[in-house]
């Protein structure tokens, strides 16, 4: 039985009838639980919504996000941060979400963008062995569909934890291009001291990893050097407190 304040909606004709297309909780439209990838705890609706609000509050406190602030959400998935922005700032925020996983973008367009004109979602058809294996190779010249210096806050939650080293290098350069001169970037990644510079699904690390790019881990100094080479400096670092033991980086553009 759905709990009080929760409503489910079925997919339209032609979609699997046993999968809900959305869940409504406390007046907000949430994605189906099957589309929530950042840890098992996010499948709980109350936790999902609370975590979305807390993400926005963090960006307000640590990255200077204000009403009217321009937010880019790279690897937006089914719009968790967008939902948090709607809960905390409503349509006062200007939000752009991009992701390589087409079903998530399609869902966000149906249920979020259609209702909120300052929220935009773009599918980026770039390869990722976990989420878009048939996409185009990232290469050195990756370019997101946004303007130079267009965003006050750029957010990447659990994105670089599922990408190859070379692709991350290319994305970092692109982040430097799109962040405003006084803007800030928040991202999470698996980083540790005294480990190999770069490892995919490292055995014996935190839990059992399986499947393509389930866990990409970096040595911390090596990762910080990657950031510096892209023109980004570390304002703050918090080790191991994010989903599955990821660490938080708060970044600023240099120069």
The position carrying tokens 């976990």 is 130
Separation CA 21–CA 220 (nearest Å) = 40
39-45-50-53 Cα dihedral, nearest 10 degrees: 90
Separation CA 109–CA 96 (nearest Å) = 11
- Domain extents in the chain: 36-253
Q: What is the pLDDT of residues 143-192, one digit of tens each?
A: 999 999 999 999 999 999 999 999 999 999 999 999 999 999 999 999 99
Q: What is the pLDDT of residues 30-60, one digit of tens each?
A: 999 888 887 778 889 999 999 999 999 999 9
Is the separation of the CB atoms in 96 and 72 below 8 Å? yes
- The 3-class SS string of 91-112 reads HHCEEEEEECCHHHHHHHHHHH
- Kindly state the tokens that stand for 23: 């869940």
Confidence of residue 80 (pLDDT cuts 50, 70, 90): very high
Superfamily of domain 36-253: Vaccinia Virus protein VP39 (3.40.50.150)
At 186 the three-state DSSP class reads strand
Q: Cα separations (Å) of 26 from 22, 49, 50, 99?
A: 13, 9, 11, 26
Is the model's pLDDT at 85 over the cut of 50? yes
């Amino acid at each position: 039985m759905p709990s009080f304040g929760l409503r489910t909606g079925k997919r339209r004709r032609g979609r699997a009838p046993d999968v809900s297309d959305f869940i409504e909780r406390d007046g907000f439209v949430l994605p189906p639980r099957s589309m929530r990838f950042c840890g098992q705890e996010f499948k709980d609706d109350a936790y999902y919504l609370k975590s979305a609000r807390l993400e926005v509050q963090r960006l307000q406190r640590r990255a200077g996000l204000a009403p009217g602030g321009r937010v880019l959400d790279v690897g937006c998935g089914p719009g968790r941060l967008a939902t948090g922005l709607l809960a905390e700032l409503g349509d006062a925020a200007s939000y752009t979400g991009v992701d390589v996983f087409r079903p998530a973008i399609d869902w966000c367009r149906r249920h979020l963008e259609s209702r909120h004109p300052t929220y935009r979602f773009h599918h980026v058809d770039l390869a990722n062995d976990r989420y878009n294996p048939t996409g185009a190779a990232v290469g050195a010249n990756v370019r997101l569909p946004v303007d130079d210096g267009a965003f006050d806050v750029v957010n990447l939650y659990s994105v670089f934890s599922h990408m190859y080293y070379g692709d991350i290098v290319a994305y970092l350069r692109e982040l430097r291009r799109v962040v405003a001169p006084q803007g800030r970037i928040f991202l999470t990644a698996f980083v540790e001291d005294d480990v190999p510079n770069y490892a995919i699904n490292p055995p014996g690390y935190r839990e059992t990893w399986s499947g393509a790019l389930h866990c990409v881990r970096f040595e911390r100094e090596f990762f910080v050097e990657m950031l510096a080479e892209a023109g980004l400096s570390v304002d703050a670092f918090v080790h191991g407190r994010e989903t599955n033991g990821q660490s938080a980086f708060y970044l600023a553009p240099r120069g």
